[in-house]
Amino acid sequence: MSHVGYYCLMAVDRDHVLRSAAALLTHKATATLDEVARAAGISRATLHRHFAGREALVRALEALGIEECEAALDAARLEDGPAADAVRRLVRELEPAAGLLSFLYTENQLFEGEEQNEGWARLDERISALFRRGQLSGEFRIDLTPAWLTEALFGLIASGAYVVLSGRVAPKDFHHMIAELMLGGALRTESAEEPRNEES
């Protein structure tokens, strides 16, 4: 029996469809299921065999986004070294998921319902813990709450993805823009704090 091949094929196809959908919906959130299917190179019927409907597709994208974020958090080793460096690693690791996050960010369907994926709360908590650690160690200012810093980080990542997508900023500047604005702000400082970077 070919069950092994069957499952494997479905899995890889499902993932491919999901990523195509993410790429399309990122810059056209109202795309038709037919357009989503075409973008993935399959028919609407097959798309419907993978995902019961638009709702299910969006939920799957949400799960994928959460999964990628958690992988990024793991890879960034948020507990190691200076908190500021951890933030830089985090932004770097989060970059591949930025487009998907930008889409999910605008899909407020996900948050207005009664039950929302608890994965977001887990992510929020882990990132908030990083900012809290930085505050306790004296690296970060204490007048901005970890909750706000976390939300602002997501907001800046979404903005960064959008501005890169629109072509106004080069993709290679993504990390630097976000991490350095997040950490150092727009003001120029005398302390040799952030001037070192790989810009341009």
162 near a copy of itself (CB under 8 A): yes
Residue among 105, 95, 100 at smallest CA distance from 179: 95
Give SS3 for 117: coil
Are 16 and 40 in contact, with CB atoms under 8 Å apart? yes
Are 61 and 21 in contact, with CB atoms under 8 Å apart? yes
| Tokens 């399959």 sit on residue | 42
Amino acid, single-letter form, for residue 5: G
28 near DNA (CB under 7 A): no
**Which lies closer to DNA via its Cβ, residue 32 or residue 145?**
32
189 near a copy of itself (CB under 8 A): yes
Q: Is 11 exposed, middle or buried (0-12, 13-18, 19+ CB in 10 A)?
A: exposed
**Which lies closer to DNA via its Cβ, residue 46 or residue 116?**
46
Interface with a copy of itself: number of residues (CB under 8 A) = 56
> Which one of a copy of itself, DNA, none is in contact with 199 (Cβ closer than 5 to 8 A by kind)?
a copy of itself
46 near DNA (CB under 7 A): yes
Are 88 and 175 in contact, with CB atoms under 8 Å apart? yes
Q: Which residues bind DNA (CB under 7 A)?
A: 1-2, 5-6, 9-10, 13, 32-34, 41-46, 48-49, 52-55
Q: Which residues bind a copy of itself (CB under 8 A)?
A: 27-30, 84, 87, 105-106, 108-109, 112, 131, 134, 138-145, 147-149, 151-152, 154-156, 158-160, 162-163, 168-169, 173, 176-177, 180-191, 193-195, 197, 199
